Chain A
Amino acid sequence: MIPELGHFALILALLLALVQGVLPIVGAQRGNATLMAVARPAAHGQFVFVLLAFAALAYAFLTNDFSVENVARNSYSKLPEVYRFTATWGSHEGSLLLWTLILGVWTVAVTVYSRHLPEDMAARVIGVMGLVSVGFLAFMLFTSNPFLRLTPAVPEGNDMNPLLQDPGMVIHPPMLYMGYVGFSVAFAFAVAALLSGKLDAAWARWSRPWTTVAWMFLTLGIALGSWWAYYELGWGGWWFWDPTENASFMPWLAGTALIHSLAVTEKRGVFKTWTVLLAITAFSLSLLGTFLVRSGVLSSVHAFATDPGRGVFILAFLGVVIGGSLLLYAWRAPRLVSGGGFTWFSREALLLGNNVFLMAAMGTVLLGTLYPLFMDAMGLGKISVGPPYFNAVFIPLMTPVLFLVAIGPLVRWRGDDLPALAMRMRWAFAVALVTAALLPLTLDGMNLWASLGLFLALWILFGVLTGFLERLKNAPGGLLGKLATLPRSFWGMQIAHAGLAVVVIGATVVSNYEEHRDVRMNVGDYVDLAGYRFLFMGTHPVEGPNYSAMRGTVEVFRNARKVATVHPEKRRYHASGMVMTEAGIDYGVFRDVYVSLGEPLSDSEWVVQVYYKPFVGWLWGGAFLLALGGGLAASDRRYRIALRRNTEAMATAAQGTRA
């Protein structure tokens, strides 16, 4: 009964989404206030019904209702309760429902925080989000119904994929989707602006905090995914250039370009058409990413291409959203007038450079991800594009971006003096260069890649430092007072840039200086690696809730002193029979030691993999700083003041009409 109610709630949500998508936009075009006023109640109603559907599906999972096909395929009665709940979005159908639910969360947030917007603008934005929701709800109802019954019902489920039974995977998809779907707000603002023809600095100011918050979630989502891969896949890799990773990385690159381009549009009124195009691109890539991972196209192009339901629907949906918005763009964008001028050496020009390289990098990732699918679909042979391709194109294209990150914030709008900037930064440049050249020499001999990465990271950090020093010099009061006067957007930018430098340090050091050995070990054997001694103490059997495991004990010594004991595991999950490796990791600020079990060779003897991973934690620490910076920037005072002032003005106006 409950699943049928959930199904029914989805149908009602689709009807309300249609109302939300059509009436307010028509009303806005005709200036009809009654139709525009439909936007908010329809959006709230739609959200309530999607939430009910989600609750119904979660209930089916929590109560082990194996008469629902989705539950039978993706859950198991002995699965711990928290994973039974998260299995709700573990499948294709469930993840679409989560996507739609999060779209509802963002839409409700827009209805609440858009009261200061002109009514027609708010109506159009909410309407466009309603249309996106129509697409997803229709896709679910017509091709991927999560509530489909299984007749006859089965007594036991197939279990959730063991790889996903992990705390990291519990929060990774919602974070990622908060980011993907958040870009729909920027997209809706862009389409609304194109529809109305009013695209000004105010438009950029409204879009900016939404976009930055979405970018913050996407950053966290990607970082969590990378961390999960690191500890869960058992060989210590943190980025694979796998299509599923690229799917989330492409919208991130476009989103990063977008938040910088929005800054220029807000401050200077230029790059308007480019910013709108980026908003459309970022959301289109989010859609592409969702479908790439969820449609099964990656595991079999042919099954996807010949599936008359899902494949055709997805291609049609992508075609309508991307093609439609680009058509609208081509029709309306030439009318937009750009604002003031700037010279070739100005913050505008440098941000343009950053945008060009970010988008070029995004394009190469897109090509590397889609090209094998395209070749396969055309029957032109099977190829794979691996990390060597991506490293060869991505690193050279990101190098100029990283170089510009350091100086961009130090250069004035409109135009600045290059020789003067060179003077301001000469010490920073010299110190970064010398340190980056010498540090690898003292460690391990000359290493150009390590030097390049370290130089860029130090250069960015010195740029951040210079930015603070110059701002403080001109501010009144003591040091703490001075720091307190700096706006949050400034803090946000500098912390995010410093976070980027930290990520670069982590990636550079771990890629160039990690060490690894596979060894055959019996109880009491040891192996030395990077100054650490790993002593294998043997394994013993352990019973988990839905798996049996062999649990190893490895003691780690440094200079004859014990620094850690780690417990790598080899698990066999009962329902699926799948074997999984759980790494034993000792985390540290400057290094992780990482041990995982390979195959058993006899009762007591194992192949053991030991890794020394210097600075690997900096990758995720830096990503956290990036996200923190985004959060600070989005909470800047000027957005809140603008909001309050507008609300007050409207309240006064409302009182005036009442009086």
Chain B
Amino acid sequence: MDEILTYAQAAPAETVSYATADGLLSSVWLLVAIPLLSAAVLLLLGRRADRWGHWLGVAAVGAAFVLGLTYFLGLRGLENKSVQLSLWDFIAVGGLHVDFGLLFDPLAGVFVLLITGVGFLIHLYAVEYMAHDPGRRRFFAYFNLFVAAMLLLVLGNNYVMLYFGWEGVGLASYLLISFWNTRPAAATAGKKAFLMNRVGDAGLAIAIFIMFATLGTTQYDEVFNGVGALAGGTVLVLGLLLLLGAAGKSGQFPLQAWLPDAMEGPTPVSALIHAATMVTAGVYLIARSNIIFSANTTLQLVVVSVGALTLLMGAIIGCAKDDIKRVLAWSTVSQIGYMFLGVGLGGAAYALAIVHLLAHGFFKANMFLGAGSVMHGMKDQVDIRRFGGLSKYMKITWLTFAAGWVAIIGIIPFSGYFSKEPIVEAAFAREGWTAWLFGGAAVLGAGLTAFYMTRLFVLTFHGPKRWTTDIEHPHESPPLMTIPLILLAVGSLGGGALLATSVPDWLTATAGLAATEEHHTVLPHLAIFFLAQGVTVLGAVLGWYLFRNGTAIEPQPAGVVVTAARKNLYSDTVNEAVFEKPGIFLTRALVYLDNRGIDGLVNGLAAGVGGGSGRLRRLQTGFVRSYATSILTGALLVVAAFLAVQAGWLA
């Protein structure tokens, strides 16, 4: 009873190889090309496309979904269910060889279906949601651009291609977060997302360079076959850098702060990019690189720790937030923490994490769109303290949100149960005390999730009305918005069971996710089931009990924990102190030196001039003599350095 079947990584001796795409699958590049073309048309035609542009955007993603489904079914007949298509030699010089190629295997396939399927519904929803925005065409262009970049990310057959997509989705996300750039908060949030992502991107870029230096290739198959021969330290560094990249994109500790701020963008953006797809790119990266991560147990421990820490952080902060989208955002951070926990556990849990990712894509997109529908009816109010009693006015939104709610908290038999429960179990299947540590964190996280989601649900749809005075009769959203909601709700309710039974089998054909082995959990299977369900029910009941009568509409004095949670557990403060302040100081110091310092050394008169005055005036401070002095100083230093080298001082 206390044994569960797991899939472990392939034995190192087994080599990874992909068949060449032919027939129908040789046109897999269309998946990327169609949305990209649509984005180009929308951007280039300008205002001329304003009237029909959004439908083109929707149609492009719909077409990509149909194609993706066809290709997916086309994989069934193939032996190892993986094909790659080499379009052209991107870089081929000397020992360097980078292929501009695509790989379509079960892992990429399920991502394609998620991106285009959920993406299609969200596009449809956005047609109505953005109807009154003058920039709707531009919005759909960016949206299509995002879909194209995301598909490129998951379809590439080497790390450089992945990096292209990675940068592309980053750019699209930046453009979409600051879409309403007239709001200062949106512009700031866009910048924050951009900068924090750069930190992660730098990690990924350096990791790719290390692959080149040590393995001489970035093709997935060649890298995976070569990892076994690398030194342990190299694999560890490589994995940590990949993890840094993944953490940046997926909003995981320590780079989690940008994701909740990114909610300043339009709600469909939050649903598609910052809940369902882009933020899960980190999970994809780790699942794709599972052979690297499985090759080093320290690495797996780090990934598991990041996942466990983030899932708890996200859940705790989620309990204290009052902005409906921020609660959902922190919930996303927390749920991706579960996925990282899953991929870090290795073996079968890779597939489990992907299942959770897909299920999460459905129910979180559903809830975000539901939140958008609520905001639509409530004049863009986002504060859950000013909602209440909406179940009578927005029946469809209420019911579909309820579907998302029961799905995310993981009550049997809804989808969260099927996707999250196995991860909890897998956490308990580790060896020694870490099983208790990570299993306990996962269970505690489940309880907290139940609590904050119930709080959100009850405060929004039940209890007394606490609306602002300008709202009299909230209206339900039009059909174009509710139909996607209903479809996503159906997916949220039933998807889990379907996914949990079919997807792991599918994924066995993906490189590294093949063989099976058995693991023992430290608790009996049944005990874990009752523990997790009990904690979940407890959290939900507590949430319902505390907030059934609404809440105060002003912030209340609170204890240490709640205050800390309201302030995002001080992560922003830490970021500011560690990165922002020294950076600003350094820049200012250098500018000061440029404008005044060097001149000041030469001539005290010049010190008073300079600064931020006009161009002409500033140019006057650039005295040739000070330039000559700095050249002379540099020359002396260079000569001295050469002589020091010659004398062997630097050796």
**B and A form one assembly:** no
Interface residues of B (CB under 8 A from A): none
